[in-house]
Chain A
Amino acid sequence: MDSVRAAKPLFSDGLNLANLVVSSDILCDSWAAISAQIDGNHQSQSPSSSETVKIQEFEHPEYKIIAFVTPLVAASHLQEEADLVPSSSSEASEFQFLCSQDSQSFAINKAAISLFNALRDSKLSPLKAQVAKSSKSIPHIITGGCLGGSIASLFTLWLLRRLDSATKNRPLCITFGSPLIGDDGFQQAISQYSTWNSCFLHVAHMDDCFPRLFLLSTAEQSLYRPFGTFLLCSDLGGACFEAPDTIIELLTLMSRERNGGTADSQIFNYKSVIESLEQRLICKNHSAFSVLDADSFQAGINVQVAAIGLMQIQLQNMDSDALWRKIVMPEKDILERKNQALDPAKALNKMKVYLAYFEWYKNKCEDDGQGPGYYDSFKNKMFKRDHEVVKFKTELEMYWKAVVEEAEKRPQFPGAPLRSRWLFAGTNYRRMVEPLHIAEYCKLGNRSYISKGRSKHFKLLEQWLDEHQKQPRNSVPNNSKIKKITSSLTEDSCFWAHAEEARITCRLLNSGGSNSAEIKNLVDFEKYVMGLLKSCAVTSDIFLESSSYMQWWREYEDMLSKRLMGTSHNSELTRYMKDGEYHCYK
């Protein structure tokens, strides 16, 4: 029952988003904060250094603005610093956290990262702590023009990393005429987290040469790629775009139109740009062309392109096919991909049903204490039920493998691959189903399941749960577990792998005489089981008479009587088992 909305995008909202941005006060407030500092900064012509960067805070009723202002730089000067610094270098170490399975490396513009590093300890660190604190009560706009915008972007990323995942007041970073700051690895790393990507709004006027500086410098194909949302504007109006390819195409088209744009070393004044955009808000927009009626999406993009004053060029130099391919398609693709990714939760309910089948299977295999338990039943595959359950096992495995793989590549949240709801469902699955994997593995006579046979998705699910529980706010007091044993699952999903190993060790000892390593293994296993029993972390089905665990115990007891474990072996577990205390474990 997919909701209809999840299908193809019908509309492009770039104009409405631009209108919303312009009609609110955030643009003019941000620019005012920047220009308040530029005015006092006119004389310095030396290249930016940590001393010449100004950072100032401005208070507004609804938000605070932090503005970064760097001295004026010559475009030619910046262009010389177009090099990219790879993420592996020490210079980019502060942003290593952006690397993940899916985007393993990236590169940042040298000028931006050097300036960031120069400011880091003296100014940015204390600022980060302060903003993270006050973000609890009021949202922040972090802004800057030109290179100052690059610092603002890097600072915002750094801050986002620090903010609690539950932070409601995410910052909004607004840059004006900033050069691009990273390559496609950088863009991909940021867009892994849609909430992070949503914190960036880059304003770029077509007459401003800085935003496209690094696009021009590298001839054919630029290494630089934009991220976040771009508000592109001309004297005719503005529109928002989101797809990196579309933005690059439009920035390039703009530069072709303007042949250079601003005179070198002049910071572009966005004051009049913003004012003109504001005035245009309430004016009817005249489209000088006839838009296609059929497709609302393309019509929307057409209107957006016209709004930034590019329709003329399009008519002359670009056939409509190319327009479609280079500008409309990337925007449409990005929306389609988002729509598809919107709700992977639907199958989760189906998985709950499959897990219910397992619960019933487990129940049947225990058969009120008469059966062998589901581990051994599945291992022996004597009954129809053991074969029927395979289908659900396969379905669940396929689903969870895919979910884990996706989460590893694209964490559902920075620092937390799976959100709690998924992590718990995955944990239930792991505890219920992994024993059957172990059963299959050991049935074939294989050894060392944990090191050789364990599927990666089980390992990760366990690891993620551990990490989750390490965070203090996630620990759940569990004082009433004792009553819960019967209805829950063994916490360590590898319990049976340990038990199987213990059985094999027993047999080895029995046939080959004393061996200290094997004795140690068995002692460790005893301790391990006792530990589980004390914390009620194992279910009582292990004590079913025909279970593998009880088979181990009988073999072990036999060994003890032969004094194979040494003459005076007497552990807590052997007492527990011999005295029949386990009958009361429920």
Chain B
Amino acid sequence: MDIDTGSCGRELGIKDEVIKKACSISIRAHQAPAEKPFLVDKIRGSPSQVVIAFSGAWTSDAWSTRDGTAKAFGETEVNLNSFPSLRSIGNDITAKVNEASMNQFLQIMEKSALRSEMDKATRDSKPIIFAGHSSGGPIAIYATIWLLEEYKRLKKTLTHGPFCLTFGSPLTTDRIFCHAVRREEWSDRFVHFVMIHDIVPRILLAPLSSTKEFLEQSLPYLISPSAHHKADSIDKSKLTALFDNVMRNASCVASHAACILMGSTNMLLDTMTKFVQLSPYRPCGQYVFCTGTGRLVVVKNPDAVFQLLFYSLQLVSESESQQKAVASLPAHLAYEDGLDKNLDMRNAIHLENLCELPLSSDNTMDIATKTIVDTLNDLNLSARARLCLRAAGESEKQKEDNQKKIERKMGMIRNALDDLEGYRTMCETRGMGYFDAFKVQKHEDDFKANVKRLELAGIWDEIIEMLKRDELPDKYEAEKSWVKLGTEFRQLVEPLDVANYYRHLKNEDTGPYMTKGRPRRYKYTQRWREHAEQLPRGSCGESCFWADVEELNLAVTSNQPRNEQMALNVANKLKEWHAKGEVKKDAFLKETALVTWWKTLPDNHGAKLCIKDLIES
């Protein structure tokens, strides 16, 4: 466990002064008139930076769009056109965010000068710090992602890339959002400050219907700095009820998450989920918890952060309920003071090595352990809370171990691919494409290739299974070595799977390969490459054009009308893929299924002309 001796700000890649300034601008932003949704401030230095702070809004229309039909927690899928990275790649699940806050951001992008402010700063190579307090937090997160996507699209280095600082921001992003951000290695650019007694970061863990009144009426009124002192005027019993409700819902969703972290095998959990409403929102990025004693605790593991959000706000005793509830509101308004004081202390603790977290205090501790124990006590963590944090650490470790395990299999994959490459060359010397040779299964080599195919399928299917069960690290699907190996595997081996499929006539009782029979190991690896190279979805079909050729041939033998669109498409794509070297010349050898089909085309057919040169050469 490291105890950071430097200042909190420097460790995070952002200077203390910047954090303080961002915080104070974020709070001032609430006071700006409605038509000014953000404030801009420059910080001189080298390099000089630009702070853009959002106010956000808790207004009724913004937080409960489409009343009645809205989801209990107001979530919606992000628009992948604006945020192409925000999904899981292989599993292909789109990230969800709170709809109202996302709409606010989109409005601001469309109607305000935000875009030109961003362009200006980028032009001058000034890093932008997007910031927001309370409802401004989510807007700052989306703005940061938006700009990061822009960097990615233009393939710019992130040296002067944006950062995001939020203060008491509610959770508005789901676990896929977090997964995607970690995969893209953007996670460290997000730093969220949370006063452990602040209710607002947890508030969206409860259904909107139960928190609506507070969010729409009380909070917007108090949030302007000039009204902070009126926090006392809020009805204490209402506040206590709200607090209890939010905490109860937080307990529900945190317990559910903890069961999964602990690898629960009790299927009651599964049965239960049908009966329980769980908030989809999860933390994303690194968190700095500010304890009541003024300690700063940095946590990067998102599962641990999630557990901490619940456990750090637990009551010490039941009688404390009202007191803590009442304190949870001023805590939300106290970031400027709190951080000002704390950042000077320069003693942030980094909670790492979670698997070995001490569960209780004993006397024989060295000083480093004692600091950790004190920190855990400051965070108000009971033994069961600490077990949850251990589970979060253990889960992360297991995912990494799993990746190491499959990395040890890379050699086996490599060898099998080399063997199949040899098979392909041999078929070519026999004057045959390996697709057709494999389909006929006449020689012993064809059989050996089939065994290799099956061995590879076994290894890859297990990897895909792990991805489905979320048992690999977030970054796995973006690892260059795996994307490359997956592409190689797919381009070389998928034709054999297509051949096998049509050899056994599985199309007759199952349907065409592409819609019914294509194994996940190829769908996933295709998506990996498309994502890594920022290609349109579905564009990397170079490994499965044989399935189309087979269908076209089948249509010819059964005298069905020719699918002109498909024919042209295949021909055009083939030409393109051949030019790029992704489809090799053995596809165009005499007597391949492709050439057989090509010969059935009339001489003046577009598809015929398109690949004429390739076939005749």
| Chain A residues with a Cβ under 8 A of chain B | 1, 3-5, 9-13, 15-17, 19-24, 26, 62-63, 139, 141, 168-170, 172, 194-195, 197-201, 228-229, 240, 242, 278-287, 290-293, 296, 299-300, 303, 335, 338-339, 342, 346, 349-350, 352-353, 356-357, 359-360, 363-364, 476, 478, 480, 483-484, 487-488
Contact = CB atoms under 8 A, between A and B. Distances in A.
A-B CB proximity, top 8 nearest: A198-B267, A349-B458, A11-B262, A23-B252, A360-B447, A19-B255, A20-B255, A282-B247
A172 B271 contact: yes
A197 B247 CA distance: 30
Q: In which size bucket is the chain B interface? A: 35 or more
A20 B277 CA distance: 11
B271 A17 contact: no
Contacts of B383: 285, 287, 291, 299, 303
A484 B508 contact: yes
A236 B268 CA distance: 23
Nearest to A304: B384
A296 B451 CA distance: 44
B382 A285 contact: yes
B471 to A, nearest CB: 5
Contacts of A360: 441, 444, 447, 450
A468 to B, nearest CB: 15
Given A3-B398, A199-B268, A284-B380, 19 more contacts: A4-B398, A11-B263, A11-B394, A19-B252, A23-B248, A24-B275, A62-B275, A63-B274, A63-B275, A170-B271, A172-B274, A283-B318, A284-B314, A287-B383, A342-B265, A349-B458, A353-B454, A360-B444, A360-B450
B275 A4 contact: no
B387 A300 contact: yes
Contacts of B367: none
B297 interface: no
A5 B470 CA distance: 11
A199 B271 contact: yes
A542 B275 CA distance: 58
Interface in B488-511: 503-505, 508-509
A10 B382 contact: no
Contacts, number: 209
B505 A11 contact: no
Nearest to B269: A17
Contact of A198 (B244, B271, B359): B271
Given A201-B268, A283-B317, A349-B461, A293 B359 contact: yes
Interface stretch (B76-84, B112-120, B222-230, B401-409): B401-409
B360 A23 contact: no
B269 A20 contact: yes
Contacts of B503: 487
A170 B274 contact: yes
B613 interface: no
A569 B454 CA distance: 51
Interface in B235-253: 244, 247-249, 251-252
A10 B316 contact: no
Interface string B259-288: 101111111111110111100000000000
Contacts of B270: 198
Contact of B276 (A20, A278, A299, A478): A20
B390 interface: yes
A5 B458 contact: no
B314 A283 contact: yes
Nearest to A63: B275
B316 A24 contact: no
- Residue in B461, B503, B509 with the greatest tally of chain A CB atoms within 10 Å: B509
A281 B447 contact: no
A139 B275 contact: yes
B452 to A, nearest CB: 9
Nearest to A24: B276
B383 to A, nearest CB: 5
B502 to A, nearest CB: 10
B271 A1 contact: no
Contacts of B264: 13, 16-17
Contact of B459 (A1, A197, A292, A342): A1
Contact of A26 (B275, B314, B388, B461): B275
Contact of A195 (B267, B402, B444): B267
Nearest to A237: B384
Contacts of A201: 268
Given A10-B394, A278-B248, A487 B504 contact: yes
A12 B258 CA distance: 10
